[in-house]
Amino acid sequence: MVQRKRVALIGFMGSGKSTVGRLLASEWGVPHIDTDTLVAVHAGQQSVGDAFTALGEAAFRSLESTVLADIVKADEAVISTGGGIVEPPGNQQLISGWRTIFLFAHLEAIMGRLSAPEHAARPLLQDAAGAAQRYRDRLPRYRAWATDEIDTSALAAEEIVKKIGLLVG
């Protein structure tokens, strides 16, 4: 029997979810689904940051949950979730049955990755202290959700893909 590839990547913004998700899906020959991209499309916005700003956090999280409920129906896929997917309590139940890999990165590594100009408009980065607090608040949730955890702080995306391949088989 062929094992289905159903992996969801969770973690804070800048942990590598989208980059790793694209590479992993390509290597496995399965679809890559990025929740942030779909939320932006459903919100009629150009980016996830624009969607967050336009909708406000409560409506954004609600739309994110609706998108997640739809995409977990996929038979095979690699899902890259938004960093706040762990905020709404019902989302963990939605993703049960998927291999959920927490891409952990130290806050310093994340902030270094997100210091590039293309990340300057991210709403959560407008308040560095607030972002750091959200990071600390979300860590236990990511760990509670995860079936596996990989520290991505000092790894290239290709190395992370190899580690996931060893975990999933």
Side-by-side strand order, sheet with 6-10: 32-34, 77-80, 6-10, 99-104, 148-151
- Interatomic CA distance for residues 52 and 60, integer angstroms: 6
Instruction: Say how many domains are in the chain.
Output: 1
What's the whole-model pTM score?
A: 0.92
DSSP state of 2: P
Per-residue pLDDT of 6-32, as tens digits, reads 999 999 988 999 999 999 999 999 999
Residue 169 lies in a domain: no
Per-residue CA distances from 159 to 19, 24, 164 (Å): 12, 11, 9
Residue 10 lies in a domain: yes
Residue 108 lies in a domain: yes
CATH number of the domain that 83 lies in?
Answer: 3.40.50.300
Residue 21 lies in a domain: yes
Query: Which domain range does residue 96 map to?
Result: 6-164
Q: From first to last of the 169 residues of the chain, give the pLDDT tens digit.
A: 446 789 999 999 889 999 999 999 999 999 999 999 999 999 999 988 899 999 999 999 999 999 999 999 999 999 999 999 999 989 999 999 899 999 999 998 888 777 666 555 555 666 778 888 999 999 999 999 999 999 999 999 999 999 999 998 7
DSSP state of 95: T
